[in-house]
Amino acid sequence: MKRFKDQIISELEKIKSDGLLRKMDILESGDFPYITVNGRHYINFSSNNYLALNGHKLIKEAMSQATEKYGTSASASRLISGNIEIFEQAEAILALFKGKESALIFNSGYQANLSVISTLFNEKDVIFSDELNHASIIDGCRLSKAKIFVYRHNDMNHLEDILQSTDGRRKVIITDGVFSMDGDIADLPQICYLAERYDAIVIVDDAHSTGVLGVNGAGTESHFGLKNDYIFVLGTGGKALGGGGAFFCCPKYVRDYLINRCRGFIYSTALPPSVPAGLIAAINIIKNETVRVSRLKELSLYIHKALKRLNINTSSAPSHITPIIIGDSLKTLNLAQNLLKNHIYVKAIRPPTVPPNTSRIRISLTSLHTEADIDKLISLLSPTAKEINVYESKRA
């Protein structure tokens, strides 16, 4: 026991000395655009509540009504006695929302990626994965035991090179729709072209695209005006949709296969019935309150222009996710702490969340932020950025 304790403490000290130690803050309010932490009020630029639907009256009402009708828990996996009708209703609506034949709800985006990828593919198959894909995709690929080829971020020439030289029983190209730490969008039209040419399917993780991109927030595929049966899409409910859970949209035969073979689905107690009820309400709100999406786009352009004027190293195009890429972990941590002192709530994003030497401040916008909120951030960033040599950093 002593050896174990000493080893763990030693590893923690190393994490701390490298500027990579993480701690959890306790929010005294919900995760809204304006929050309270330890009695201090902040403008929150760290939330994925992009459309500010968290706490929306209609979502709360829908979740409350579902709780009254069905109870507070599904109490079992859906293959036992937990397949309450609201799940099937939500899946039909989510599939229609994404333009797919069917959908299957999972407890979280991480669980969905881990479970779906490792179910559909094995050591006989080949996976082509963008180097900046989310950790849940990476872990799902590893668990599948398929041959994994990582292509350079959004580099379609590199992707084609490895597609040409590799074969397997099944081939799949997996990518984020909007990349969670960079805010850029996958080149889905070219990915689809290559998928058709080399007989592969495509899985798109739309966690940060759902509700934000495309017609009525339908996501990356809709954003590019694509509609292909070989594109399977993951969406999450805990970000722009203001609820919880996740959903995988695919052909019905794939859904049927997952129900029979997917361990992460088969052996998990279903979500509380209030969750799918909230997802249904969120989809209806997005369709009826389109100003939320348009407002988010306005703010994304506003902050992008402001950062470019300061010559700060950020994304190449406006996005609701806007990185300030610094490189050094300790400098990034110092910037985050300085902003916190001035009531701007941000987090220093450091390895292993991002590649080495690409530490950053990740600015997340919601439709309820204002230009004044962004102006305050910019006014604090300018002198602070000079002190920590943001201008000298190079994006990896």
Residues known to be catalytic: 180, 208, 239
Determine the Cα–Cα distance for residues 387 and 312; give it in Å rounded to an integer. 13
For the chain, the distance separating the N- and C-terminal CA atoms, rounded to the nearest angstrom, is 41
Is the separation of the CB atoms in 325 and 393 below 8 Å?
Answer: yes
Strand partners of residue 172 = 127, 201
Determine the Cα–Cα distance for residues 214 and 225; give it in Å rounded to an integer. 8
Q: For residue 322, what are its two tokens? A: 């806007």
**How buried is 9 (Cβ within 10 angstroms: 0-12 exposed, 13-18 middle, 19+ buried)?**
exposed
Determine the Cα–Cα distance for residues 131 and 59; give it in Å rounded to an integer. 36
User: Within 13 Å and on the Cβ side, how many CA atoms surround 231?
Assistant: 28
**How buried is 27 (Cβ within 10 angstroms: 0-12 exposed, 13-18 middle, 19+ buried)?**
middle
**Of the candidates 316, 203, 289, the residue with the CA atom closest to the CA atom of residue 249:** 203
Determine the Cα–Cα distance for residues 105 and 339; give it in Å rounded to an integer. 38
Q: Sign of the CA dihedral 151, 186, 115, 138?
A: positive
**Of the candidates 217, 136, 128, 218, the residue with the CA atom closest to the CA atom of residue 180:** 136
Q: Given its phi and psi angles, is residue 391 left (phi above 0), alpha (psi -120 to 50 degrees) or beta?
A: alpha
Q: For residue 4, what are its two tokens? A: 């174990």
